[in-house]
Structure 1
Amino acid sequence: MADTIVSGMAGRYATALFELATEAGAVDSVKADLDRLAALIAESADLARLVKSPVFSAEEQLTAVSAILESVGITGLAGNFVKLVAQNRRLFALPGMISDFAALVAAQRGETTAQVTVAAPLSDAHFATLKATLAEKTGKDVNLDVTVDPSILGGLIVKLGSRMVDASLKTKLNSIRHAMKEVR
């Protein structure tokens, strides 16, 4: 975990939650609850507005978040954490806290995440091959966060930690276009 750096206010909250969850032996359940909450925030524009907007008072945010947590069954450490964040007027940083918590969990498990951008959805065979290749190169279990972006035309872009490999057709065509301009 020493090589994973989470910083700032979101990192401090995530680290505190991670330490509490580790002591309680509830890291997996807390991560599952936070992942569910992150998915809800991503799906609902109204919930995203509640989380990010400074217009709502701490009491309004706490009341709304408490009702949402209760309705989706997020209780215990994760539920109390989110309520504390709302009470402290830090709800706007919740997505960062969830992301930092996930990074701490991944580091503890020896996992890493690669952001992969492709022009079209990957087949199961291509997904498995890419995952195996990245695992072989890094020596870690690699989770793939795949984004489909048709504007890259073909190929893929892989970001893993501080390294990026851009093998997209769009970049190759731009390189050729640039080289052609220099020849003239």
Structure 2
Amino acid sequence: METSGGIQASLAGRYATALFGLARDEMKIDAVTRSLDSLDRALTESTDFAALVSSPMVGRADAAKAIAALVPTLSIDPTTANFLNVLSKNGRLGELKSVIRVVRQLAAGHRGETTAEVTSARALDDQQVAALKSNLKTRLGRDVAIDARVDPSLLGGIVVRLGSQMIDASIKTKLNTLANAMKG
């Protein structure tokens, strides 16, 4: 029996695979990933949009109307707009963040890139992302796409995950290591 986390992951994976397959077949991977980047920024920057996507109190019809109204504002391409309509009508807008992450990984794989999950205490600016990509490309010998997240509990520094490999240079981990060393 699958746990609810496993079901959610597989559900998001199915939706993401369907969207990516459609984007690939229509040769619109770049347009779809740009639209998903715009949606991801909106989820991060707008508490109203994040609430619309995650709230079980918003009905499917109301969610579909709200999404349709936001599509032009966020410059969403038609393929992604149709996909959002399907998500809202199926009551699956809560899966959007996971779908975005999986589509980014699929697109990176399609382009021959590796995806690095990067968590930092505050949002990285474009210059920091470019420097990180350059350093990781030098280390791995191929292009790297960055899936950036913010976790203020890190206090500072950065955590980079590349598949099963993890580089943890966060202040939180350093403080925990120091506290353990002082105890023992």
Identify the TM-score tier after normalising by the shorter chain. 0.7 to 0.9
SS of 1:143's partner is strand
Pairwise CA distance, 1:111: 1.5
SS of the residue aligned with 2:24?
helix
Q: CA deviation at 1:139?
A: 2.7
In the other structure, the counterpart of 1:39 is 41
Where does structure 1 lack aligned partners over 5 or more consecutive residues?
A: 1-6
Structure 1 pair 58/135, CA: closer, same or farther in 2 (3 Å)? same
Aligned to 1:166: 168
Partner of 2:65: 63
- Superposed CA deviations along residues 19-67 of structure 1, whole A, max 9, x for unmatched, are 1111111111111112112211221111111111111111111111111
Q: CA-to-partner distance for each residue in 1:109-144, whole Å, 9 max, x for gaps?
A: 12223315379978958963x433322332321234
TM norm structure 2? 0.78
User: Aligned to 1:96, which of 87, 98, 110?
Assistant: 98
Task: Provide the rounded CA distance (Å) in 2 between the counterparts of 1:125 and 1:46.
Answer: 28
Cα pair 2:121 2:154 within 8 Å, conserved:
no
Write the distance in 1 (CA, Å) between the matches of 2:58 and 2:72.
Answer: 20
Which residue does 1:12 correspond to in 2?
Answer: 14
Counterparts of 1:16 and 1:120, CA distance in 2: 30
Aligned residues: 175
Q: Give the secondary structure class of the aligned counterpart of 1:89.
A: coil
Q: Distance in 1 between the 2:17 and 2:158 partners?
A: 33
Contact 2:31 / 2:77 at 8 angstroms: preserved in 1?
Answer: no
Residues 134-181 of structure 1: CA distance to partner in whole angstroms, max 9, x if unpaired? 22332321234375859556x643322221122445544543443343
Counterpart of 2:87 in structure 1 is: 85
Q: Is the 8 A contact 1:119 1:156 kept in 2?
A: no
Corresponding residue for residue 133 of structure 2: 131
* Equivalent residue number for residue 110 of structure 2: 108
Match of residue 117 from structure 1? 120
Tell me the distance in 1 between the aligned counterparts of 2:104 and 2:57.
28
Letter in 2 for 1:85: L
In the other structure, the counterpart of 1:3 is none
Structure 1 residues 133 and 12: alpha-carbon distance in aligned structure 2, compared to 1, 3 A threshold: same
* Structure label with greater radius of gyration: 1
**RMSD between aligned residues:** 3.1
Q: What is the percent sequence identity of the aligned residues?
A: 39
In the alignment, which of 72, 79, 83 is matched to residue 74 of structure 2? 72
String of CA shifts for 1:39-96, please: whole Å, max 9, x gaps.
1122111111111111111111111111111333324111111011111111111111
Matched ranges for 1:145-184 at <5 A = 145=148, 152=155, 156-168=158-170, 171-172=173-174, 174-182=176-184
